[in-house]
Amino acid sequence: MIVQENYSLKQLNTFGINASAKFFATISSTDEFKEILSDQLFNGVSKLILGGGSNLLFTKSFDGIVLKNNLKGIELTKEDEDYYYVKAAAGEVWHEFVMHCIKNNYAGLENLSLIPGCVGASPMQNIGAYGVEIKDSFFELEALHIQDLSIHTFNNSDCKFGYRESVFKRELKNQFIISSVTFKLSKKPNFNTSYGAIEKELETMGISELSIQAISKAVCNIRSSKLPNPSEIGNAGSFFKNPEVSRNKYESLKASFPTIVGYELENGNVKLAAGWLIEQSGWKGKTIGDAGVHKLQALVLVNYGNASGNEIYDLSQKIMDDVKEKYGVELEREVNII
């Protein structure tokens, strides 16, 4: 393992922000993580675990050590009548792992095809798309405690998954390195085409018999046509979460803004479409220097070239202030600010 100094992170974050790390190392095994974490040289030095860099925004260079997770391996650990239990090391690329599952007819992750990043980050915010979240197929994960180097196993309820949330973003923030994730994948697929766009795409594809392969392909087609490709325009997907408001608040907003988009939740609250709030506040397609709001997806902030992390951050703050002023709704950033 080599530790490099003043290492450029520009190619390692999908926003393409020109930041660097004081120290940088690529880690390929849990033993290497233990070795570096117990090195006196890095005692008291801040640590950042990096996967695909697709859910973070560097607002400054990182004055510590960045550990790029490169743990690899996929293993079928057991199976029973109904499920396959598939364990993937944290450094596996998420979409490649999903493709492995689809090839082997392990059902459950097909709606999550083409999400950028690595397996190890997937539980951090309980990644989700097209009506499915990883918590629906998550079995357990293994993680290394950064301070005492003990290995812990977390089951589904230990992770306290929520909408783009987990215990690792809250109480246990910066305390653990996730080293592997095990998914419980179905032998009898339970197809989820509840998102209208999937049904429509399957129709366009001329699919008459559903399969996890067809759903995955449909999701890939939709995502490729809708979302900006980070290798062409820097971005980190949805920059904000969809905010949750009380039913009363929703009713009063609806009275003033009849076209407002909201989805009822089981707890009685309503989730508002952040994209609608941003678009109606006039931000869709706007740019300030090289920082901008995507012209087709108001939820996606983009780097059109040489925007700094602070310029993207400032743009996000202006949007949040405007939405708050116009609708009285607080937007929350989904992307991790570093």
Ligand X SMILES: Cc1cc2nc3c(=O)[nH]c(=O)nc-3n(C[C@H](O)[C@H](O)[C@H](O)COP(=O)(O)OP(=O)(O)OC[C@H]3O[C@@H](n4cnc5c(N)ncnc54)[C@H](O)[C@@H]3O)c2cc1C
Residue positions annotated with a catalytic role: 164, 238, 334
Task: Give residues 271-330 in contact with ligand X (rule: CB under 6 A).
Answer: none
Stretch that binds ligand X, among 98-106, 115-123, 209-217, 281-289 (CB under 6 A): 115-123
Closer CB to ligand X, residue 189 or residue 228?
Answer: 228
Give the span between the Cα atoms of 133 and 125, in whole angstroms.
10
Task: Give residues 51-80 in contact with ligand X (rule: CB under 6 A).
Answer: 51-56, 69
Task: Give residues 3-22 in contact with ligand X (rule: CB under 6 A).
Answer: 14
Closer CB to ligand X, residue 236 or residue 319?
Answer: 236
| Of the candidate residues 88, 118, 299, 301, the single one contacting ligand X (CB under 6 A) | 118
Task: Give residues 141-200 in contact with ligand X (rule: CB under 6 A).
Answer: 177-178
Sheet strand arrangement including 151-155: 74-79, 83-89, 176-186, 138-145, 151-155
Torsion region of 129: left, alpha or beta (phi above 0 gives left; psi -120 to 50 gives alpha): beta
| Of the candidate residues 108, 117, 275, 292, the single one contacting ligand X (CB under 6 A) | 117
| Of the candidate residues 125, 180, 297, 303, the single one contacting ligand X (CB under 6 A) | 125
Q: Which two tokens stand for residue 213?
A: 């392969």
Q: For the CB of residue 187, give the shortest distance to ligand X in the complex, in Å.
A: 26
Site residues, ligand X (CB under 6 A)? 14, 48-56, 69, 90, 115-118, 120-122, 124-125, 127-129, 177-178, 227, 230, 235-237, 336
